[in-house]
Amino acid sequence: MIRLHHYELSAECYKVRLLLSMLGLAHETVQVDMYPGAAHLSDSYRRLSPLGRLPVVEDGDLVLDDANAILVHLAASHDPGGTWFARAPGQIAQWLGYGAALAASLGAARLMDCFDTGMDSAPLIARALPILDALDRHLWLEAAEGHFYLCGTGPTIADIACFADTVLAEEAGVALRRYPAVRRWHDRVRMIPGFIVMPGVFPR
């Protein structure tokens, strides 16, 4: 069975929980006390992920410690319909990269504030805003063409990769008022069958 090692408040882990739920995949979960326990840096956890990264998915002999890699693996190996990745791999991979950049900026700023690290998140926010601008512009243009997801007319892992950190943007101190197309797209993601929430994310 697929085993997910995760932390409840991590948006990276939420991406994987979302896809597992949307694909209806049975799995077991192991909670990792990332904060305050720093259990992801323990010797036992580093046997799974040498860099101490979350989430980790074990699927048979395969061990992956990167949210994008896990999304690609689950979509490629466990989606009989083949709609979540194979339709437009190049385009989807590009948005997976944007999702990773959002995690490193907006997502990192959110955790900095949430765990009250005393560090200044403003430089991270400054890096996130152009990505949000690009996302909003793309979604606006696509919606005008009748494409209501990031890559076409149906949901793909690109949507999941960019949804988690942007829907939690207010927890990083970024109001979404300026990004109306992003907000409308959030509502569409909320309607995908199997959608689940995490703290800070509200159902439709």
Partner 1 sequence: MLASCIMTRGNDPFIDEQNDPVLLDQWHVVASIAELRRGPVRTILLGRRLTVAIRQDQPVAHHADGAAAATMLHLEYVWVCLGQKPARLFDIPELAEPERRVVHAGSFGVRTSPPRAIENFLDLGHFPYVHKDFLGLEPHTEVPPYRVSTEQDGQELFARDCRFFQPRSAANASEGFIVEYVYRVPHPLCAVLYKLNPLDRDRQDVIALFCQPVGPEQVRAHMLVSLLDDTSDDAELIGFQQLIFAQDKPILENQVPLRLPLSPGAEVPVRADAMSVAYRRYLAALGLRHGVIAA
Positions of E strands within 18-68: 27-31, 56-59, 62-64
Among 82, 78, 84, 81, CA closest to 57: 78
| Smaller CB separation from partner 1, 80 or 118 | 118
Q: Kindly list the distances between the CA atom of residue 26 and the CA atoms of 3, 5, 90, 139, 198, in Å, as whole numbers in the listed order.
A: 9, 14, 28, 32, 19
| Smaller CB separation from partner 1, 144 or 175 | 175
| Smaller CB separation from partner 1, 121 or 156 | 121
| Smaller CB separation from partner 1, 5 or 151 | 5
User: Least CB distance from residue 192 to partner 1, whole Å?
Assistant: 20
* Spatial strand order in the sheet of 56-59: 27-31, 2-6, 56-59, 62-64
Q: What's the burial of 153, exposed, middle or buried (CB within 10 Å: 0-12/13-18/19+)?
A: exposed
Say how far apart CA 43 and CA 130 lie, in whole Å.
Answer: 38
Among 52, 79, 66, 51, CA closest to 15: 66
User: Least CB distance from residue 162 to partner 1, whole Å?
Assistant: 18
- Give phi and psi for 179, each to the nearest 5: -125, 70
| Smaller CB separation from partner 1, 13 or 72 | 13
User: Least CB distance from residue 96 to partner 1, whole Å?
Assistant: 25
Say how far apart CA 202 and CA 139 lie, in whole Å.
Answer: 21
Summarize as ranges the residues that interact with partner 1 (CB under 8 A). Answer: 7-9, 31-33, 35-39, 113-116, 118, 122, 125-126, 129, 170-171, 173-175, 177-178, 198-200, 202
Locus of tokens 């690009």 = 134
| Smaller CB separation from partner 1, 26 or 175 | 175
User: Least CB distance from residue 142 to partner 1, whole Å?
Assistant: 22
User: Least CB distance from residue 152 to partner 1, whole Å?
Assistant: 29
User: Least CB distance from residue 44 to partner 1, whole Å?
Assistant: 12
